[in-house]
Amino acid sequence: MSTITDAAKPLRTAMVDRVKAVGHASTPAVEEAMRIVPRHEFVPEASIEDAYADIAVITKSASDGSPLSCASAPTIVAMMLDQLQVEPGNRILEIGAGTGYNAALLTQLTGPGGAVTTVDIDPEVTAGARRGLDETGNDHVNVITRDGSLGAAENAPYDRIIFTVGAWDLTPAFWEQLAPDGRLVVPLRWRGQTRSVAFVRDGDALVSDSMELCGFVPMIGQEGERSGAIDSEDLVTLYWDADQTIDATKLSGVLDQSKETIWSKVLVGPQDPFDSIWLRITGRDSRICRISADRAAVDAGLCTPAIPIRSPALAEDDSLAYLVFRKIEEGTFELGAIGHGPNGRHLAGQLCHEIEAWNHDRNARPTVRVYLAATARSAHSFDQAMTHQTIEKTASRLVVTVS
- 35 vs 37: CA distance, rounded Å: 6
72 included as an active-site residue? yes
How many CA within 13 A on the CB side of residue 15? 30
Kindly give, in sequence order, each residue whose CB lies less than 8 Å from that of residue 44, ignoring residues fewer than 6 positions away.
none
Percentage helix, strand, coil, to 5, in the chain? 30, 35, 35
**b/e 206-230 (16+ beta carbons within 10 angstroms → b):** bbbebbbbbbbbbbeebeebbebeb
Query: What does the DSSP 8-state code read for residue 307?
Result: S
For 282-299, the DSSP string reads TTT-TTEEEEEE-HHHHH
At residue 345, the 3 state secondary structure works out as helix
Neighbours of 103 (CB within 10 A): 29
Catalytic residue among 69, 72, 196, 286, which? 72
Identify residue 49 by its one-letter amino acid code: E
- 166 vs 189: CA distance, rounded Å: 7
- 55 vs 326: CA distance, rounded Å: 30
Could you give the angle at the alpha carbon of 260 between the alpha carbons of 295 and 277, nearest 5°? 70
* Active site residues per annotation: 72
